[in-house]
Chain A
Amino acid sequence: MALKMVKGSIDRMFDKNLQDLVRGIRNHKEDEAKYISQCIDEIKQELKQDNIAVKANAVCKLTYLQMLGYDISWAAFNIIEVMSASKFTFKRIGYLAASQCFHEGTDVIMLTTNQIRKDLSSPSQYDTGVALTGLSCFVTPDLARDLANDIMTLMSHTKPYIRKKAVLIMYKVFLKYPESLRPAFPRLKEKLEDPDPGVQSAAVNVICELARRNPKNYLSLAPLFFKLMTSSTNNWVLIKIIKLFGALTPLEPRLGKKLIEPLTNLIHSTSAMSLLYECVNTVIAVLISLSSGMPNHSASIQLCVQKLRILIEDSDQNLKYLGLLAMSKILRTHPKSVQSHKDLILQCLDDKDESIRLRALDLLYGMVSKKNLMEIVKRLMTHVDKAEGTTYRDELLTKIIDICSQSNYQYITNFEWYISILVELTRLEGTRHGHLIAAQMLDVAIRVKAIRKFAVSQMSALLDSAHLVASSTQRNGICEVLYAAAWICGEFSEHLQEPPQTLEAMLRPKVTTLPGHIQAVYVQNVVKLYASILQRREQASEAEAAQEVTQLMVERLPQFVQSADLEVQERASCILQLVKHVQKLQAKGVPVAEEVSALFAGELNPVAPKAQKKVPVPEGLDLDAWINEPPSDSESEDEKPKAIFHDEEQRQARHRHPEVDEEELARRREARKQEQANNPFYIKSSPSPQKRYQDAPGVEHIPVVQIDLSVPLKVPGMPMSDQYVKLEEERRHRQRLEKDKKKRRKKEKEKKGKHRRHSSLPTESDEDIAPAHQVDIVTEEMPENALPSDEDDKDPNDPYRALDIDLDKPLADSEKLPVQKHRNAETLKSPEKEDVPVVEKKSKKPKKKEKKHKEREKEKKKEKEKKAEDLDFWLSTTPPPAAAAAPAPIPSTEELSVNAATASEDTCEGPKGEEAEDEDYGTEQDPERKSSRHKKKHKKEKAERPKDKKKVKKKQPEPEEEAAAARLVDNGAAEEEPIPPMSSYCLLAENSYIKMTYDIQASLQKDSQVTVSVILENQSSSFLKNMELNVLDSLNTKMARPEGSSVHDGVPVPFQLPPGVSNEAQFVFTIQSIVMAQKLKGTLSFIAKDANGATHEKLDFRLHFSCSSYLVTTPCYSDAFAKLLESGDLSMSSIKVDGISMSFQNLLAKICFHHHFSVVERVDSCASMYSRSVQGHHVCLLVKKGEHSVSVDGKCNDSTLLSNLLEEMKVTLAQC
């Protein structure tokens, strides 16, 4: 003991463990970085040692350093070494490190494939578990492709611990390798009903995650999930399912109807808040999906709103938050139910918790109506005043603007009020959203013609008191509104009461302290103002006054000419020259006003924000082509320092653009309109003459503004929005009185009115309020032939899009998972007699799966129809919830078993198939040749049975993967003897670089085609690339080559091989006659590249197509088999082999495996077997075992094929 301690402490001197490292870091607070770099050096030393324990310790420390932000990817290779340690302790450390730092870009990750595969099939469940966990974090498309099949096998592992992990990781596999979804889905579906709750939960989790992205493909699972929902007690599972239903209901409103009741029950019964909340959420989703069709769900809405109110009133802030969140969903479709809780929501605005206040604000957005907008905004304004912290206040500000401007100012009845609110907001200190307010001012002034006069008066007041707004401390924020104010005053100067005063305000020296882009606007609009003043004075023949104003301009403009801002300077100099010129003319007594104002003639129309984007590109114009030669790189670098000439340059440019553009656009628009007007082929979108404003002043096409006399046209000083609230109320009151009068007169018509009100969207009171102004909100212009709503295209890089896969479609043969059975180096050495159990599993399982897939494929078509019917049936009936589970045909279990049964039936030739399915072949043990006539009697009876009953019967053969697999061999025999592992891959050719093994698979889908899978293993230390496989086609057998290549071209192998790596390539061959075995000569050419350079290498081979390789394992029922034999059109042949020592069971297994037969029936040491060729030949065998011999009698449509097959079989059996 003492010795151990001494040794331990000595070791400590050399190696720090994780704890020492942490301690060390804590003790070196001052020079942490230096200490850690020292530690990393030590770790690098440790990683160089051979001892795996030392390495593991080092990797463990690296994982810690990774958390602190150090890049440890340089140790990736060492991490892999530790992952492949035999001890769990180290393996776990390795996988943890890998899961923290490996990703798709890690180049050594491809070296892990074999190691992970080995760990996945490890006998220790924790090795497997650790590998799965690690893989879930760093799975790449390649890993997913190579390991999908192994993981799928693990989904049926005996240990639930492995099953649940395997099920969960499948989601990651699907994401990286979408092709695996369809083959794996049936099994995933099975796992929904796994006896272990953890596995079940994992399956629900994965399917929910899949369905969330592409709900429509999972609609057919609804009955199954419904059953789970009504039966499960696991809240986790329930929550997931209920969330899933929330995603499914929008696609199938009938589903929603069915859900309402059980969900309502859950809402009433559950005590778990999380579950309650999700139920409410899904009910809301249901109600949204039903909102059009079903009027009678007000009870459910009430229930939801009421429950949410309880949540919101709860003292738990989390519940409050969620309650508000869900409330906002209801709001979208049922605003009325929420609006009655306005008090509660306004109360939440006062909450101390910002998240809650923000949620409440969101709700307000949807709760406003014409009636309550002013009140709500008033409330918000008081919050603005009270709010501490600019973030929240800015949020409030944006919300106020959002609320008011939503859907084209729908709820604003009084724009004077709105303008005054905007002006009030300008008094906010330190807000960042000055530009927002400015944009609103501009927008309202441009689009609401009736308000211009009022807006101009307010803006001129604002300009007058600009010193308040733009005190130097908050230059950046709020002074943006001056931009809008100046522009509005300039552009609509005809509405100004006292233009000279405003002009004076805009020319104050203080203005030069404003940001450049605002000054520029000032300068430009000063001229507009000037033009308008000139016009007025000349009309009034006040020549002197006109000269005065010119003098003022000449005096004040130089301050802008001196500006450091280029834009300001340029504009000012131009204008100064212009004004000086005007001054000269004025001195001569020439009237100039007309000409100066002509500079700014024309009306501005609002343009839709996307208009520019939607202008179609004219034919033949390439926007990406360079107009001039692109500048060289060095040039642009040089330019940078120059650009920093003025630091506000950039922002300024951004702000300036709209202004310039608007003017420019307006001009172009006018030109275009003229052109359009003259163009007889142009179809005018809105031929209303009213829309076409011409230069002629005074032509006002807008409906006459009904400004209430009680509204003062000019409010002295700063406006107070409250005044307008009061005025508005009075106005409404009067309106109501008038209406009442009218109503009394029209009493008879009242009924109609009521009806209409019920169906309309806005609240009753909304309708009654007529806006103060008949606001002409000019619709925004769009370019002709612009395409509507072509923007929101889905992101093509969305990883989930690849998973939008129809799961009901029959599975094609090409879709099976790639099976790379022989990556293990040992296996390749002697593929025929490999005894590693792992290999057996891998090489056998897939075969059966393939078969299963094929079966499925056939009946999938039928099944799909059936499924659709089932879903319809399930949805159309509305049984009481208690009985819901029973009558609803649950597709998953039953249909699956149906699959198994109907599959065999389909593949069985002959009309007997129908009956076969009714026979319980598990008990039917009679020797072959059962009278088929006897059965015919039953046929009619059976046909009359209702369909459901058939289903129940069919259920008996258990379709479990293993069971089905075993059935191929022993068909009910009880003998349990381990079947020796087998591999169908045999050596094709080998040299010092590469080793090739191959297997041939035929499939019923593509007659006369077989697929040759070749495993290429790099045995050298060179990198092999440019591999190309070529064969000399015979008349009978041809390799399928890519289109456009000649028969002499090789087919490239779609991968490269780093040293020690193997991979599988598949080649398709077309065969004319299959009755004879074939041999093809071929060559594999490749480039081997190593440190010394690259060499071109070749490897010749002979590809042997045995007759057995043309057979496809096809199950057959004994009666169909009997009928086939009876038919008499089969030729017969037989062989006998002596010296057999192998058990009959294994013998059959060998025949099944190597020659693709299936056992039809077996009694003692006699068995009948069946197979079918790709071209539809039936092959029937009767195998009998004597003391030490085996005799095989065969029957087949083609005698040559049969004799060849039997010869091949003889060779196989001779080895037994």
Chain B
Amino acid sequence: MIQAILVFNNHGKPRLVRFYQRFPEEIQQQIVRETFHLVLKRDDNICNFLEGGSLIGGSDYKLIYRHYATLYFVFCVDSSESELGILDLIQVFVETLDKCFENVCELDLIFHMDKVHYILQEVVMGGMVLETNMNEIVAQMEAQSRLEKSENFPVTLHLSTR
């Protein structure tokens, strides 16, 4: 099971916070902060696993993270997940973001947090890996965007007819 997925930048600003276990907001923020400090200390050329210990859950949990340019992608998982598998999954997630946003950069995540969540929802559901095939994920995302467009959605348009 995946317990939490955190994305934050090099300064610890959260860009995506997704917990699969209930924590009050202030604890969530504290976890993000602590996690940030843990991974910040680490060089880029050392291993991507961190025995989180006290953060979430306990000794069964590990932090598995990747660092891309300005962003850290951190997954907190228990021992039922394969460490290398999760590293691959992070890669899949990031590549999917890249496809959906066409050359993703931090700004995309900042301004489209909702969309990032929707993409993540196609990859991980309720803490369990849902889909690892990038093409499938992208196809579902596109289908949903089409559906959204067909609903003639723009919020501003609706407001104007008020």
A51 & B159 in contact (Cβ 8 Å cutoff): yes
A274 interface neighbour in B20, B82, B155, Cβ under 8 Å = B82
Q: How far is the CB of A155 from chain B (nearest CB, A)?
A: 14
B138 within 8 A of A: no
Stretch at the interface among A60-68, A259-267, A493-501: A60-68
B125 & A96 in contact (Cβ 8 Å cutoff): no
Nearest A-chain residue to B114, judged by Cβ: A60
B140 & A317 in contact (Cβ 8 Å cutoff): no
Given A136-B125, A137-B20, A322-B159 contact (CB < 8 Å): no
**Cβ contacts under 8 Å, A208 to chain B:** 80
* Complex CA–CA separation, A274 to B130 (angstroms): 18
Residue-wise interface mask of B (118-132) relative to A, using a CB-CB cutoff of 8 A (1 in contact, 0 not): 100100011111111
Q: How far is the CB of A1009 from chain B (nearest CB, A)?
A: 39
A353 & B159 in contact (Cβ 8 Å cutoff): no
Residue-wise interface mask of B (66-81) relative to A, using a CB-CB cutoff of 8 A (1 in contact, 0 not): 0000000000000010
A745 within 8 A of B: no
B118 interface neighbour in A96, A103, A132, A161, Cβ under 8 Å = A96
**Cβ contacts under 8 Å, A87 to chain B:** 151, 153
B128 interface neighbour in A10, A60, A206, A274, Cβ under 8 Å = A206
B46 & A317 in contact (Cβ 8 Å cutoff): yes
B125 & A56 in contact (Cβ 8 Å cutoff): no
A856 within 8 A of B: no
A513 within 8 A of B: no
Stretch at the interface among A16-24, A37-45, A301-309, A911-919: A16-24
* Complex CA–CA separation, A15 to B154 (angstroms): 13
A429 within 8 A of B: no
Residue-wise interface mask of A (60-82) relative to B, using a CB-CB cutoff of 8 A (1 in contact, 0 not): 10011011111100000000000
B136 interface neighbour in A54, A124, A172, A198, Cβ under 8 Å = A198
> Would you list which residues of chain A between 155 and 211 have a CB under 8 Å from chain B?
161, 164-165, 168-169, 171-172, 198, 201-202, 205-206, 208-209
Q: How far is the CB of B90 from chain A (nearest CB, A)?
A: 12
B46 & A239 in contact (Cβ 8 Å cutoff): no
B88 & A198 in contact (Cβ 8 Å cutoff): no
Residue-wise interface mask of A (611-653) relative to B, using a CB-CB cutoff of 8 A (1 in contact, 0 not): 0000000000000000000000000000000000000000000
A355 & B126 in contact (Cβ 8 Å cutoff): no
A69 & B28 in contact (Cβ 8 Å cutoff): yes
A161 interface neighbour in B17, B140, B157, Cβ under 8 Å = B140
Residue-wise interface mask of A (1102-1127) relative to B, using a CB-CB cutoff of 8 A (1 in contact, 0 not): 00000000000000000000000000
B114 & A96 in contact (Cβ 8 Å cutoff): yes
A691 within 8 A of B: no
B153 & A243 in contact (Cβ 8 Å cutoff): no
* Complex CA–CA separation, A178 to B140 (angstroms): 32
B113 & A63 in contact (Cβ 8 Å cutoff): yes
* Complex CA–CA separation, A61 to B100 (angstroms): 21
A659 within 8 A of B: no
A88 within 8 A of B: yes
How many residues of chain A are within 8 Å of chain B by beta carbon?
A: 77
B48 within 8 A of A: yes
A7 & B156 in contact (Cβ 8 Å cutoff): yes
Nearest A-chain residue to B133, judged by Cβ: A198
**Cβ contacts under 8 Å, B130 to chain A:** 164-165, 168, 198, 202
**Cβ contacts under 8 Å, B18 to chain A:** 100
Most chain B C-beta atoms within 10 Å of own C-beta, residue among A11, A15, A26, A273: A11
**Cβ contacts under 8 Å, A51 to chain B:** 158-159, 162
> Would you list which residues of chain B between 77 and 134 have a CB under 8 Å from chain A?
80, 82-85, 87-88, 110-114, 117-118, 121, 125-133
B131 & A356 in contact (Cβ 8 Å cutoff): no
A318 & B129 in contact (Cβ 8 Å cutoff): no
A8 & B47 in contact (Cβ 8 Å cutoff): no
**Cβ contacts under 8 Å, A92 to chain B:** 118, 144, 148
* Complex CA–CA separation, A685 to B157 (angstroms): 88
A198 & B128 in contact (Cβ 8 Å cutoff): no
B54 within 8 A of A: no
* Complex CA–CA separation, A104 to B22 (angstroms): 9
Q: How far is the CB of A217 from chain B (nearest CB, A)?
A: 16
**Cβ contacts under 8 Å, B17 to chain A:** 67
**Cβ contacts under 8 Å, B127 to chain A:** 136
A321 within 8 A of B: yes
A236 within 8 A of B: yes
A278 & B50 in contact (Cβ 8 Å cutoff): no
B43 interface neighbour in A124, A352, A356, Cβ under 8 Å = A352
B12 within 8 A of A: no
A14 within 8 A of B: yes
A861 within 8 A of B: no
B129 & A209 in contact (Cβ 8 Å cutoff): no
A1041 within 8 A of B: no
A527 within 8 A of B: no
**Cβ contacts under 8 Å, A137 to chain B:** 20, 126
B158 & A355 in contact (Cβ 8 Å cutoff): no
B111 & A318 in contact (Cβ 8 Å cutoff): no
**Cβ contacts under 8 Å, B117 to chain A:** 63, 96
A126 within 8 A of B: yes
**Cβ contacts under 8 Å, B129 to chain A:** 201, 205, 236
* Complex CA–CA separation, A415 to B45 (angstroms): 42
* Complex CA–CA separation, A4 to B158 (angstroms): 11
B82 & A320 in contact (Cβ 8 Å cutoff): no
A88 & B147 in contact (Cβ 8 Å cutoff): yes
B125 & A132 in contact (Cβ 8 Å cutoff): yes
**Cβ contacts under 8 Å, A601 to chain B:** none
A54 & B153 in contact (Cβ 8 Å cutoff): no
* Complex CA–CA separation, A87 to B156 (angstroms): 15
A239 & B144 in contact (Cβ 8 Å cutoff): no
* Complex CA–CA separation, A585 to B158 (angstroms): 104
> Would you list which residues of chain A between 271 and 289 have a CB under 8 Å from chain B?
273-274, 277-278
B111 & A243 in contact (Cβ 8 Å cutoff): no
* Complex CA–CA separation, A450 to B116 (angstroms): 68
Residue-wise interface mask of A (226-239) relative to B, using a CB-CB cutoff of 8 A (1 in contact, 0 not): 00000000011001
B46 & A67 in contact (Cβ 8 Å cutoff): no
**Cβ contacts under 8 Å, A277 to chain B:** 82-84
* Complex CA–CA separation, A1024 to B52 (angstroms): 48
**Cβ contacts under 8 Å, A11 to chain B:** 156, 159-160
Nearest A-chain residue to B29, judged by Cβ: A69
**Cβ contacts under 8 Å, B160 to chain A:** 4, 7-8, 10-11
A12 & B156 in contact (Cβ 8 Å cutoff): yes
> Would you list which residues of chain A between 100 and 147 have a CB under 8 Å from chain B?
100, 103-104, 124, 126, 132-133, 136-137
B85 & A14 in contact (Cβ 8 Å cutoff): no
B47 & A236 in contact (Cβ 8 Å cutoff): no
B55 within 8 A of A: no
A53 within 8 A of B: yes
**Cβ contacts under 8 Å, A353 to chain B:** 43, 46-47
**Cβ contacts under 8 Å, A356 to chain B:** 46-47
Residue-wise interface mask of B (38-56) relative to A, using a CB-CB cutoff of 8 A (1 in contact, 0 not): 0000010111111100000
Given pairs A8-B157, A96-B118, A318-B49, 12 additional interface contacts (CB within 8 A): A7-B156, A8-B160, A17-B156, A22-B110, A64-B114, A103-B22, A126-B144, A133-B121, A136-B125, A169-B126, A274-B83, A278-B82
Which A positions have Cβ atoms within 8 angstroms of B? 4, 7-8, 10-12, 14-15, 17-19, 22-23, 26, 51, 53-54, 56-57, 60, 63-64, 66-71, 87-89, 92-93, 96, 100, 103-104, 124, 126, 132-133, 136-137, 161, 164-165, 168-169, 171-172, 198, 201-202, 205-206, 208-209, 212, 235-236, 239, 243, 273-274, 277-278, 317-318, 320-322, 352-356, 358
The contact sample of 17 A-B pairs, CB cut-off 8 A, is: A4-B157, A4-B160, A22-B111, A51-B158, A51-B162, A69-B25, A89-B151, A92-B148, A103-B22, A171-B128, A198-B133, A206-B128, A208-B80, A209-B80, A274-B85, A274-B88, A355-B51
Which B positions have Cβ atoms within 8 angstroms of A? 1, 14, 16-18, 20, 22, 24-26, 28-29, 43, 45-51, 80, 82-85, 87-88, 110-114, 117-118, 121, 125-133, 136, 140, 143-144, 147-148, 151, 153, 155-160, 162
The 10 closest A-B pairs by CB, nearest first: A136-B126, A274-B84, A317-B47, A353-B46, A53-B158, A69-B29, A7-B160, A103-B22, A321-B47, A11-B159
